[in-house]
Amino acid sequence: MKSNSSRALSLTAVLLLVACGESSLLGPDAPQGIDGVALLGPLCPVEREDEPCPDRPLQDATIRVRRQSSGGTFATLSTDADGRFRVGLEPGDYTLVPEPGDPFPVASEQDVTVAPGVWIEVTVSFDTGIRAPVPPLR
């Protein structure tokens, strides 16, 4: 297992950072930010107790980071082979905007608050679309 510092260095290589004059973006060795993973699921149309079908890490998922106060995207992240991403940020309120596939997988936007000195752990769940929605019971 990699140490936090070597993991941060390896994850730095997979981050595509687009800074547009935004001072919120810091390096992966910052005292706070977002440390996340993108997962893909469900992977089986039916899941049984004796045949688990866990979600798997999603490589090369693209997630945009938007500061809520300014509304503009200032960083675009790409997940590594383990579905991981990491970005150092100034304290504040952010929105993670996962880019969808065509038409799947899809994931919902997530609001994240970064506190001083804290790395927030986030899971971005991408839906494969393999299961149809269950109609409500009447």
pLDDT higher at 26 or 80: 80
This prediction's pTM: 0.77
Q: Which residues, in sequence order, are bridge partners of residue 84?
A: 37
Domain 4-43+54-127: homologous superfamily in CATH: Immunoglobulins (2.60.40.10)
DSSP class per residue in 91-124? SEEEEEEEPP-SS--B---EEEEEPTT-EEEEEE
Return the domain boundaries, the chain: 4-43+54-127
**Per-residue pLDDT reduced to its tens digit, 108-135:** 999 999 999 999 999 999 999 987 666 6
Give the tens place of pLDDT for each residue, 49-63. 888 899 999 999 999
